């Protein structure tokens, strides 16, 4: 869109080249004339799509199908800086990237959440995770190698990225074992630190997911917090222990260290932002995605999910572009979103609704069907295509 008033050239800096950061930079580039500079900063040279790590585990994707070089954005007129953000000074909208300072007229912080598996003693050594690309690459062969025994799957804390992911992973692992013809001799138990699956979405969603697990003969234990693990044995907060042949975990998360150390940090080191505009307390500074803590009416935060980071990116990009172009900032994030839960065998369920509804989120869940699996593939395509 052409600038109406030929405003002075401005620089927008986007921190983080994950789902939220890439969507923000792409949309800004489409909204703003080329004389405005858009800079995207990311620690790693590649973008990877976490929602597809589960398909890497199950063998439905190769790692290179869910990975794209961020430098591809250069072709679209986005300046890509590869390096670790070491400091954020929101009052001056200045960031330090490997010793070099970059100052912005508008700053968007989308640095995600760090995995914190080290908060449970022995977990990283005794278990495998699907929450990183490398982990998913190791976990797939480990599941396929099983011919008998016991898979123990745990969520290692109530707070983690994507509330559906561990339940989805459990159903996909069940499908892998069934395809190998060994499910009859491999037991699967899922112990969650939280009181129920996707509980923020409401009791109806939890009940539906528990039914999916029960249909597959998966033993489910809610509110069972793992405290330590060693080869073949996991200990829980109530003093019980569980044995396993394969331990699979969803790691807890913590705010990125650079965010927690910055003046942006608020509740628990996360960023507080206006839940509709994603504006922080610092003028011209916005925060989106996993590094924010957005309150819901039930006292819990909005779940960390790529669909929300993606929607918030659109709102922030549109409002920054409007501000630069001297228009009213019209966009508002309304808390709507949905999450797929792939159940294997070409089907997925879909939980979606209004997470900002009062007095509690209004979310419904559709039973597993081919169309929701295809919709999940379309979401993946939509994100990856913008990095071609």
Ligand X SMILES: Cc1cc2nc3c(=O)[nH]c(=O)nc-3n(C[C@H](O)[C@H](O)[C@H](O)COP(=O)(O)OP(=O)(O)OC[C@H]3O[C@@H](n4cnc5c(N)ncnc54)[C@H](O)[C@@H]3O)c2cc1C
Residues 116, 268: Cα–Cα separation, whole Å: 14
Residues within window 242-261 making contact with ligand X, judged by CB under 6 A: 256, 258
Under rule CB under 6 A, residue 237 binds ligand X: no
Under rule CB under 6 A, residue 87 binds ligand X: no
User: CB-hemisphere CA count at 13 Å for 263?
Assistant: 12
Residues within window 159-178 making contact with ligand X, judged by CB under 6 A: 161-162, 165
Could you tell me the two tokens for 154? 């745990």
Under rule CB under 6 A, residue 110 binds ligand X: yes
Instruction: Pick from 3, 10, 12, 21 the residue near ligand X by CB under 6 A.
Output: 21
Where do we find the tokens 């509804």? 357
Residues within window 185-224 making contact with ligand X, judged by CB under 6 A: none
With CB atoms as reference, the residue minimizing the distance to ligand X is 18
Could you tell me the two tokens for 366? 């559709």
Helix (H) or strand (E) holding 114: strand 114-115
* Residue 31 vs 68, nearer CB to ligand X: 68
* Residue 301 vs 306, nearer CB to ligand X: 306
CB contact at 8 A, 234 and 244: yes
CB atoms closer than 10 angstroms to residue 365: 24
Instruction: Pick from 13, 28, 32, 51 the residue near ligand X by CB under 6 A.
Output: 51
Could you tell me the two tokens for 177? 């074992």
Least CB distance to ligand X at residue 341 (A): 8
CB contact at 8 A, 302 and 131: no
Could you tell me the two tokens for 157? 């804390």
Instruction: Pick from 31, 106, 128, 130 the residue near ligand X by CB under 6 A.
Output: 130
Instruction: Pick from 112, 140, 353, 361 the residue near ligand X by CB under 6 A.
Output: 112
Under rule CB under 6 A, residue 44 binds ligand X: yes
Distances (CA, A) of 146 to 58, 59, 134, 153: 14, 15, 19, 15
* Residue 183 vs 304, nearer CB to ligand X: 304
Binding region for ligand X (CB under 6 A): 16-21, 41-44, 50-51, 53-54, 84-85, 110-112, 130-131, 161-162, 165, 256, 258, 289-290, 304-307, 309, 339-340
């Amino acid at each position: 869109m052409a600038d109406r008033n030929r405003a002075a050239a401005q620089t927008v800096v986007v921190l983080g080249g994950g789902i939220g950061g890439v969507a923000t930079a792409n949309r800004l580039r489409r909204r703003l004339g080329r004389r405005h500079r858009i800079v995207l900063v990311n620690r790693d040279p590649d973008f990877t799509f976490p929602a597809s790590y589960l398909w890497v585990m199950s063998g439905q994707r190769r790692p290179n199908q869910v990975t794209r070089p961020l430098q591809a954005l250069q072709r679209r007129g986005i300046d890509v800086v590869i390096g670790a953000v070491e400091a954020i000074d929101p009052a001056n909208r200045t960031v330090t990237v490997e010793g070099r300072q970059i100052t912005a007229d508008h700053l968007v912080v989308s640095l995600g959440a760090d995995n914190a598996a080290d908060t449970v003693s022995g977990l990283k050594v005794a278990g495998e995770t699907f929450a990183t690309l490398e982990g998913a690459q190791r976990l797939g062969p480990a599941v396929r190698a099983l011919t008998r025994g016991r898979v123990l799957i745990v969520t290692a804390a109530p707070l983690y990225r994507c509330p559906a992911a561990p339940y989805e992973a459990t159903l996909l692992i069940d499908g892998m074992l069934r395809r190998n013809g060994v499910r009859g001799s491999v037991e699967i138990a899922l112990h969650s630190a939280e009181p129920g699956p996707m509980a923020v979405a409401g009791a109806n969603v939890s009940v539906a997911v528990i039914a999916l697990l029960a249909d597959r003969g998966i033993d489910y234990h809610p509110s069972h917090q793992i405290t330590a693990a060693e080869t073949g044995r996991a200990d829980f907060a109530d003093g019980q222990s569980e044995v396993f042949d394969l331990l699979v975990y969803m790691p807890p998360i913590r705010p990125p260290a650079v965010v927690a150390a910055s003046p942006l940090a608020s509740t628990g080191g996360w960023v507080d932002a206006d839940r509709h505009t994603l504006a922080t307390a610092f003028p011209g500074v916005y925060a989106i995605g996993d590094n924010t803590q957005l309150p819901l009416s039930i006292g819990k935060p909005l779940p960390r999910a790529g669909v929300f980071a993606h929607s918030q990116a659109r709102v922030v990009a549109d409002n920054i572009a409007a501000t630069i172009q001297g228009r009213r900032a019209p966009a508002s994030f309304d808390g709507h979103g949905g999450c797929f839960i792939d159940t294997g065998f070409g089907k997925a369920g879909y939980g979606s609704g209004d997470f900002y509804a009062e007095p509690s989120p209004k979310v419904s869940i559709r039973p597993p069907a081919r169309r929701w699996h295809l919709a999940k593939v379309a979401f993946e395509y939509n994100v990856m295509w913008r990095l071609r």
